[in-house]
Amino acid sequence: MALPLLWVTPSLATSSCGEHEEDKRDVVRVYYLPFATGTFTPVTPENIEQKARHKVVVKDDSEPARTLQTLFNGAGLGTFNARLVRLKVSGLGGEVYYVDQTGNIRHPQNREAGLSEADFARIKALVESLL
C-alpha cells in the first residue's frame, strides 16, 4: 500500500522550488520539531517553519490529515504556550493549527485547546510515522 506522503525535506532544504500554484492546493503541510526537543531560543508560530527539523506534505484527503483534524477538533481545555511550538499543520481544512511542547493547541482564530495524554501520544506517533 502506498503511503500518502508526498515528500519530506530537511529543514535547510527548499521544498517549494519549482512548485506551481496548482500544486499547493489540496495538501497539508506539517512542520515538526520533535516534542521532547529543548531549545535555547523560543520556537514560536512565527519561526516554526524555519526551526522545524522535518517538513512533510500529505494530501488533504489522506488518512493522516483526517486523523489530525479529528484529534484537533476533539481537544478539550488547554492553554497554548506560543514560545514552545513544536508542530505546525497548515492547509488542514484551509486553516493553520499549532501544537506546543505539552500538547496544547492553537486553533484558527486563536482559540486554545488541550489534547488528552492519549491523543497527544497519537499525534506524536502519527507525525513520527510520516518521517
pLDDT tens column, 59-88: 999 999 999 999 999 999 999 999 999 999
Q: Please give the backbone phi and psi of residue 93, each rounded to the nearest 5 degrees, phi first.
A: 65, 25
Mean pLDDT computed over every residue of the chain: 86
More confident residue, 109 or 33: 33
Q: How far apart are CA 131 and CA 124, in angstroms?
A: 11
Q: Which three cell numbers stand for residue 36?
A: 521532547
C-alpha cell at 62: 489522506
CB 100 within 8 A of CB 80: yes
Better-scored residue on pLDDT, 11 or 35: 35
Beta strands, E only, 1-131: 5-10, 27-32, 54-59, 85-92, 95-100, 104-106, 112-114
- Up-side HSE of residue 80: CA atoms within 13 Å toward CB? 23
What is the average pLDDT across 29-45? Answer: 96
**Cα atoms found within 13 Å of the Cα of residue 63, Cβ hemisphere only:** 7
Ranges of each domain in the chain? 5-10+26-130
So what's the pLDDT on residue 109?
A: 87
pTM, 2 dp: 0.82
What's the pLDDT score for residue 80? Answer: 98
